[in-house]
Structure 1
Amino acid sequence: MSAPRRILIYGVYGSGKSTLAARLADHLGLPWYPVDDLLWQPGWVEVPVAQQRSRIEEICRRDRWIIDGAYHGWRDVPLARADLVVGLDHPRWRSFGRLLRRTVRRVVTGEEICNGNRESLGSVLSADSILLWHVTAFGRARRRMRAWQSDPSAPPVVLLRSPAELDDWLAGLPRRGVDRNSA
């Protein structure tokens, strides 16, 4: 098995996309482009969708990348170029639990997320709460990953349903772009 060079990681909020992207970048020696850094300006001002798309197109023209998400205005761009889609298809309780723990930690510590942005108690309790986004997006994200997996015209999709499956899958990948079958 040769190592993929263009990877889209997909899943609902809290599923571990960024954590996996960092692990894969280290494991495969690929550059990782955190989507949050591309989508949000300081003050949680969303980058206009046309500009998001332009940024994603520029990255996806490259030969090597990992992107940790795909959103409505440009989802087609990485899908058209990806060698592999890794779908984090964890149960709702697991991804929501992770998201809740991460969100509480970030609120308490004031941890910077992207471009100087931080979560606050106000943002968590607002109508735009990432916790509410999870609840409303979970089913759509799961259906989308499963549809991609069954679509012969889509890139290969690996659905990982647990941390153990993820660890087993990652252990089977060649390291730093070296094909184990040719080494």
Structure 2
Amino acid sequence: MQRILVYGVTGSGKSTLAARIGERLGLPYHAVDDLTWRPGWVPLSEPEQRKVIGELLSADTWVIDGGYAIWLDLVMERADLIVGLDMPRWVSWSRMVRRSVRQIVRRTPTCNGNYETWRLFLFDRESLLYFHFRSFRRKQARMRQWHDSPEFPETVLLRSPAEVERWLAGLKVG
């Protein structure tokens, strides 16, 4: 396992787990949101994202914490393990709400110095709340398809925080 994708819905724990996997295995971890968003919540264009992600994925080792549809094909060509966080909706939903509220109240910067706001969190048409609901079933089905098909890289599905901890504890270092 040298090239690992941690995949799941918003709030499932992708970034936290990807960083922990990278640390445990001595692999470089890359936060996808830091690579795809500029300050002011300006997204890189699709061609720019594909270029940046393609360059990152050309390395021999990496752990990334998500797969945007516009460049997921690049990841699937190179990943040798997918860790799917197939958590119940209430787990990811509650984590996302707690994280966002904490970041808004504390004014904690997120990717590239951007800040979440109440307006972005609650009312924006690209709100994480709405995105979570729109993407949950699609991402869940995608992970399960990867897991069930030999056409895709090896896929581990973790369905609870306890399963995540057991799996992580069992990772062989080096």
Identify whether the pair has TM-score above 0.5, normalized to the shorter chain.
yes
Amino acid at match of 1:19: T
| Equivalent residues, number | 173
2:31 aligned partner? 34
CA distance in 1, matches of 2:150, 2:118: 44
- 1:148 equivalent to 2:146? Answer yes
Structure richer in helix, relative to its length: 2
Amino acid at match of 1:47: L
TM-superposed deviation, 1:131: 1.1
Q: TM-score normalised to the size of structure 2?
A: 0.97
Q: CA RMSD in A?
A: 0.7
Q: Percent identity?
A: 51
CA distance in 1, matches of 2:126, 2:71: 21
1:45 aligned partner? 42
Structure with greater Cα Rg: 1
- Runs of 5+ unmatched residues, structure 1: 179-183
TM-superposed deviation, 1:111: 0.6
Report matched runs for 1:61-76 at 5 Å: 61-76=58-73
Greater than 2 Å deviation, 4+ residue runs: none
CA distance in 2, matches of 1:11, 1:167: 16
TM-superposed deviation, 1:138: 0.4
TM-superposed deviation, 1:127: 1.5
Q: TM-score normalised to the size of structure 1?
A: 0.93
CA distance in 2, matches of 1:94, 1:66: 23
- 1:102 equivalent to 2:88? Answer no
